[in-house]
């Protein structure tokens, strides 16, 4: 099964696959293969539990986590996010005015493909687009206010199932494919792809840490990491992952990072939002 999924990845890379074309992209079949791989490898883990990352893989960690969740370290971020979210901009409008359903319980629909711009719009980007539309300066993608806002929006969406859509539009399929290629491509001095750790070595220990499975990986974002001593956005996570494999990170919310988020979140379709999460 690993061979199969790495082969899918290799096909995505297209290196030795001249027949590759945008119209051969079949996200549905790829989602099934991706999910089957994890379910087959971790038969004792209930499907919905994959959104709990390392805690779904390790009984000892799970016990610690249950204790942590008694006083969740992301609670301050949720409170702060709620406050920021409901505080009007200078023009008296609020974030809620920019989102469907006033931005409550919508996390599971992000990222989405925007036919107008031809690009993938993540929740973080949508928040800054909202600010720009209302004459406000953008927030830093890797800092606390963005983490707080996304934490609040995830919190109001907990339990809702991811429903990422890949419309029948060659640009959307191309974005998906580019994200997939990035996910399976090795990079950095350590020569790891995202898949090296989160597909191939998922569930294994690196010293005291347990590598989270790629299935459901985006569902817990943003996360409080004890290692960081604070909250981190998806942008922060991508940048630090790249640094850790000694690769040059992209700029936060670079189009390619958004494509990766599009691919990876789509792979977790049907799983429930669990964010904000707490991780070691």
Residues with catalytic annotation? Answer: 241
What is each CA distance from 242 to 33, 192, 235, 260, in whole angstroms? 26, 9, 11, 13
Binding segment toward other proteins, per CB under 8 A, in 63-71, 97-105, 124-132, 185-193: 185-193
Task: Give me the least distance between CB of 17 and other proteins, in Å please.
Answer: 16
CB count within 10 Å of CB 113 equals: 21
Task: Give me the least distance between CB of 16 and other proteins, in Å please.
Answer: 12
**Paired residues of 279 in beta bridges:** 225
Angle in degrees, CA 202, 256, 54, rounded to 5: 20
Does 6 help bind other proteins (rule: CB under 8 A)? Answer: yes
Q: Is the peptide bond before 39 cis (omega within 30 degrees of 0)?
A: no
Task: Give me the least distance between CB of 215 and other proteins, in Å please.
Answer: 18
Task: Give me the least distance between CB of 165 and other proteins, in Å please.
Answer: 33
Write the binding mask 139 to 178 for other proteins: x where contact by CB under 8 A, - elsewhere.
----------------------------------------
Does 207 help bind other proteins (rule: CB under 8 A)? Answer: yes
Considering beta carbons, is residue 94 or 196 the nearer one to other proteins? 196
- Give residues 209-228 in contact with other proteins (rule: CB under 8 A): 211
Task: Give me the least distance between CB of 211 and other proteins, in Å please.
Answer: 8
Does 201 help bind other proteins (rule: CB under 8 A)? Answer: yes
Residues 192, 224, 257, 263: which binds other proteins (CB under 8 A)?
192
223-225 β-sheet, strand order: 230-232, 223-225, 277-279
CB 103 within 8 A of CB 96: yes
Residues 200, 240, 241, 256: which binds other proteins (CB under 8 A)?
200
Binding segment toward other proteins, per CB under 8 A, in 138-146, 168-176, 187-195, 249-257: 187-195
For residues 189-226, one letter each, b for 16 or more C-beta atoms within 10 angstroms of the residue's C-beta and e for the rest, the string is: eeebbbbbbbbbebbeeeeeebbbbbbbbbbbbbbbbe
Residues 191, 226, 227, 243: which binds other proteins (CB under 8 A)?
191
CB count within 10 Å of CB 89 equals: 15
Does 189 help bind other proteins (rule: CB under 8 A)? Answer: yes
CA pair distance 274, 154, nearest whole angstrom: 8
Does 4 help bind other proteins (rule: CB under 8 A)? Answer: no
Task: Give me the least distance between CB of 194 and other proteins, in Å please.
Answer: 12
CB 167 within 8 A of CB 115: yes
CB 213 within 8 A of CB 155: no
Q: What tokens were used for 166?
A: 């890949």
Residues that bind other proteins (CB under 8 A): 2-3, 6, 189-192, 196-197, 200-201, 204-208, 211
């Amino acid at each position: 099964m690993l061979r199969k999924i790495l082969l899918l990845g290799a096909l995505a890379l297209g290196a030795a696959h001249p027949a590759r074309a945008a119209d051969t992209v079949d996200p549905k079949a790829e989602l099934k293969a991706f999910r089957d791989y994890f379910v087959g490898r971790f038969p004792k883990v209930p499907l919905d539990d994959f959104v709990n990352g390392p805690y779904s893989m390790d009984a000892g960690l799970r016990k610690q986590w249950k204790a942590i969740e008694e006083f969740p370290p992301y609670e301050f971020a949720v409170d702060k996010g709620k406050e920021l979210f409901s505080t009007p901009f200078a023009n008296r409008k609020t974030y809620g005015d920019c989102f469907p359903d006033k931005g409550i319980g919508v996390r599971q629909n992000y990222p989405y493909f925007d036919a107008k711009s031809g690009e993938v719009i993540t929740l973080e980007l949508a928040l800054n687009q909202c600010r720009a539309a209302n004459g406000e300066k953008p927030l830093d993608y890797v800092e606390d206010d963005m983490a707080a806002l996304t934490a609040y929006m995830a919190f109001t969406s907990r339990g809702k199932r991811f429903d990422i859509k890949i419309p029948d539009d060659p640009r959307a399929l191309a974005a998906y494919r580019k994200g997939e290629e990035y996910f399976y491509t090795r990079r950095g001095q350590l020569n790891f792809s995202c898949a090296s750790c989160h597909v191939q070595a998922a569930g294994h220990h690196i010293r005291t840490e347990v590598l989270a499975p790629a299935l459901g990986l985006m569902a817990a974002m943003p996360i409080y990491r004890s290692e960081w001593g604070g909250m981190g956005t998806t942008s922060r996570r991508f940048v630090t992952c790249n640094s850790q494999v000694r690769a040059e990170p992209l700029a936060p919310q670079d189009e390619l990072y958004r494509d990766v988020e599009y691919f990876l979140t789509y792979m977790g379709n049907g799983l429930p939002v669990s964010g904000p999460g707490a991780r070691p």
